[in-house]
Structure 1
Amino acid sequence: MRTAIVMPRNMHFCKSRATSIDLCAHDLALHSQNKSNLRVFAGGEAGLFDDVDVCAVTPPGKKPTPAKFYDPLSEFGPQLIVVHQHLETAFQIINDFPGTPVILHRHGRFERNSGFKRWKYTRKMNRLGGIIWVGEDARNNFCENFTGVKTRSVVVPNGIDCELWSPAPKANTVIYVGRARKDKGIFDLAAAWLACADRMKALGWTLEFVLAVTDDGEDATANALRQMLSNHQTSVSIETNLIAADVQRRLAKASIAVVPSIVAEGFGRTAIEAMSCGAAVITTHSGGLWEAVGETGKVINPSAPKEIATALFDLADNKPLRNAMAKSGRERVLRLFDIHQIAELYDDMLMSLWDEFVSGPHTTQRLIDHMLVSE
């Protein structure tokens, strides 16, 4: 089945600036049983992933608008189209390809909005071929707020290659990997480090930030973080836009990983990467992070630098506890989130949604909706 994977605006399907959404889409495509019939459509970037079939729909550096996907998709002739995250791109593609099922792959909660917008979005989302969520928290939140959506919603968590994300000999390193955004809790982690830096340094510990910087706002945030920690350059390092292999090496040797998100995360890919690499994980209970970590991590409140500092010192000073958390964390990822089983589940879900779309009694109604609903 010819399947198109659409990566809309604000995504970076490339080796150095990939977000968790890009990495999720890449890994599912790379390990799909349908890989030979699959093509990814993304904005032009330097260093696009080259181990899957990728079509750049814009020149390098230009953000793709929904209209930019029409000609490349028409030429490919997909039987199924998966749009990651961006609703308006999905709705435009439904209009452009009314006979082709369009699946929306959501990576986080959907904003509730006003009553009118919920009605409008409900009408549109009922024309989707299905919605795939990365976590139960995001799916349940959506179902509670959009009770009129009858489109089938399913959950497929992120998966990772546990052979690539694997432990190495450990250093006394605390690490943060993620976007350079305030709502990811990076300033809370920095404040926690400032509060316990003397004790941590006395035990021989350092802190590493590995930041993804994808726009001017995130660049400004990274610079603000550097300024905040400028007096601790001997114990703190800040790196940006590393390729995946370098991120893996940093995580492999880290003993503690912190995922201090304030925002309600859809899942928690960064957490399972760290767990697979044998790091003891400190995280918040925001959104779906608990689905990733389960009972294997140290879970704290969001926006609580003092709790982060306490957790850091407790783990830094207790190697048996770190080792036990690292062991149980990796075992959890191997059992639940290995990419081979997740990709197989994803393929099965796509085929099931496609079958329902092409054979269901709602096909005629969908065509009527296409004619009646103004976009």
Structure 2
Amino acid sequence: MRVLTVLPPRELYAEGHAGAISLLVSRVALCDDRVIGRAVSGVPLPGGKFVPLKRGIWPLPQRLSYALSCVRAARHFRPDLIEVHNRPDLAMALSRVAPVRLILHNDPRSMRGAKTAKERSRLAAKVLVCAVSRWVATCFAEGSDIPPRVEIQPNCVDLSVLPAERPRKKQVLFAGRVVADKGVDAFVSAWASLRHQYPDWTAVIMGADRFGPDSPETPFLTRLRPQAAQADVLMTGYRSHPDVLEAMTEAAIVVVPSRWPEPFGMTALEAMACGAAVIVSPFGALPDVVGDAALLAAPDASGALEAALGQLMDNPALRAELGRKGRERAALFSLEAARARLVALRQAAIAFSRGLAAP
């Protein structure tokens, strides 16, 4: 099957610059898949074959220019199936060229072409809609008299590339984008109130505003740095994905205190796969992803994050139990399971385009 994968325009399919969607696409892509997106500098990610889009000769708005480039690439490649990530309007445009499968990684209700229930129903009638979690699927169905068809395609982790298990440091790690939505300031505040009670523990923030070494210094980061320094929290800045996995394998505890309803929660899944004891917020898809393998704590609920951290730092047996449960939970999201699901959904998308029942 000739498959064309279309990245969102801001995603970079390159080592050291890739966002979450690019990393996931590369992880599950089959060797003959063609991946298109913005031209990148450096080494493309290994999954599939990446072909940078050619820019048109006319000065057009960026969104329109990107869409036209995708249509031209699709007509030239003549795929059996087009997979569009996180762009409902682009999925509709490309559905005129070939069967389309739309993969939603975020709440679609703020996306162009899917903001209203009517738009989402029209979209679901044209393309096979897939969501990375039940939470995203629920968002897509909101307001519809007849629930539209939405398939679940969870994110995955490649267990074979995880670092080898090693002794744990008495360390609490936050890894991810350093923005208010991720609750990193709540973590700093919680640590400030706990650090004197646990002098043999350390706290680390690994990440930046964006993915990549050239991530900007934002007003939020400027405000957070002195607060983190005063609380004895080390801020490392951006680190590569392999470095993050190494850190998760060494840290005793990983926190994911997101205020934003996470549509999946890849950081939590990777932390569980690495055997850390995990604390997540009770919002979005996070509770569904972690099951009973993590503690829940709302970042802005008075004392909640402090209590969860204290509970784990005081109890090595509980940390070990959650680490074991986390590995077992993460195995449900293996790369092998994800690729089997990918193949099944591709076949379902072809059948859908022909008006047939899914196999």
Common fold by TM > 0.5: yes
Which is further off, 271-280 or 259-268? Answer: 259-268
For the residue of structure 2 that corresponds to 1:341, the secondary structure is helix
Distance 1:226 1:17, change over 3 A: farther
For the residue of structure 1 that corresponds to 2:159, the secondary structure is coil
Where structure 1 has 5 or more consecutive residues not aligned to the other structure, the ranges are 30-34, 362-375
Tell me the residue number matched to 2:6.
6
Give the CA deviation at 1:37: 2.7
Q: Are 1:42 and 2:41 matched, yes or no? A: no
Q: For 1:50-129, list aligned pairs within 5 A.
A: 50-57=46-53, 65-95=66-96, 97=97, 100-111=98-109, 118=116, 121-122=119-120, 124-129=122-127
Which is further off, 2-11 or 86-95? Answer: 86-95
Distance 1:38 1:206, change over 3 A: same
Alpha-carbon separation, structure 2, partners of 1:251 and 1:277: 6
Contact 1:192 1:305 (C-alpha < 8 Å) held by counterparts = no
Q: For 1:123-202, list aligned pairs within 5 A.
A: 124-147=122-145, 150=148, 152-166=149-163, 167-200=165-198, 202=199
Tell me the residue number matched to 2:19.
19
Give the CA deviation at 1:350: 1.6
Q: Are 1:297 and 2:294 matched, yes or no? A: yes
Tell me the residue number matched to 1:259.
256
Give the CA deviation at 1:305: 6.0
Q: CA RMSD in A?
A: 2.5
Distance 1:87 1:194, change over 3 A: same
Contact 2:117 2:142 (C-alpha < 8 Å) held by counterparts = no
Which is further off, 161-170 or 284-293? Answer: 161-170
Alpha-carbon separation, structure 2, partners of 1:67 and 1:6: 12
Tell me the residue number matched to 1:371.
none
For 1:49, the aligned partner's letter is: L
Distance 1:146 1:228, change over 3 A: farther
Tell me the residue number matched to 1:224.
223
For the residue of structure 2 that corresponds to 1:40, the secondary structure is strand
For 1:313, the aligned partner's letter is: G
For the residue of structure 2 that corresponds to 1:322, the secondary structure is helix
Distance 1:132 1:312, change over 3 A: same
Give the CA deviation at 1:162: 1.3
TM-score of the superposed pair, with normalisation by structure 2: 0.87
Give the CA deviation at 1:14: 2.5
Higher helix residue share: 1
Contact 2:16 2:240 (C-alpha < 8 Å) held by counterparts = yes
Distance 1:79 1:219, change over 3 A: farther
Alpha-carbon separation, structure 2, partners of 1:241 and 1:55: 27
Give the CA deviation at 1:112: 7.1
Tell me the residue number matched to 1:313.
310
Give the CA deviation at 1:104: 0.9
For the residue of structure 1 that corresponds to 2:160, the secondary structure is coil
Give the CA deviation at 1:293: 0.6
Alpha-carbon separation, structure 2, partners of 1:198 and 1:128: 58
Contact 1:8 1:66 (C-alpha < 8 Å) held by counterparts = no
Q: 1:253-308: CA deviations, max 9, x gaps?
A: 11100001111111111101000101000011111101111011001224236211
For the residue of structure 2 that corresponds to 1:209, the secondary structure is strand
Which is further off, 166-175 or 259-268? Answer: 166-175
Tell me the residue number matched to 1:247.
244
Tell me the residue number matched to 2:343.
347
Alpha-carbon separation, structure 2, partners of 1:189 and 1:278: 21
For 1:312, the aligned partner's letter is: L
Q: 1:346-373: CA deviations, max 9, x gaps?
A: 2111211212212549xxxxxxxxxxxx
Contact 1:112 1:145 (C-alpha < 8 Å) held by counterparts = no
Alpha-carbon separation, structure 2, partners of 1:228 and 1:259: 19
Q: What is the aligned residue count?
A: 343
Distance 1:156 1:224, change over 3 A: same
Contact 2:117 2:141 (C-alpha < 8 Å) held by counterparts = no
Tell me the residue number matched to 1:331.
328
Contact 2:277 2:319 (C-alpha < 8 Å) held by counterparts = yes
Tell me the residue number matched to 2:272.
275
Q: 1:142-166: CA deviations, max 9, x gaps?
A: 223234564x310011110112235
Distance 1:10 1:306, change over 3 A: farther
Alpha-carbon separation, structure 1, partners of 2:135 and 2:37: 28
Give the CA deviation at 1:55: 1.2
Alpha-carbon separation, structure 2, partners of 1:360 and 1:268: 33
Q: For 1:197-216, list aligned pairs within 5 A.
A: 197-200=195-198, 202=199, 204-214=200-210
TM-score of the superposed pair, with normalisation by structure 1: 0.84
Alpha-carbon separation, structure 1, partners of 2:48 and 2:129: 23
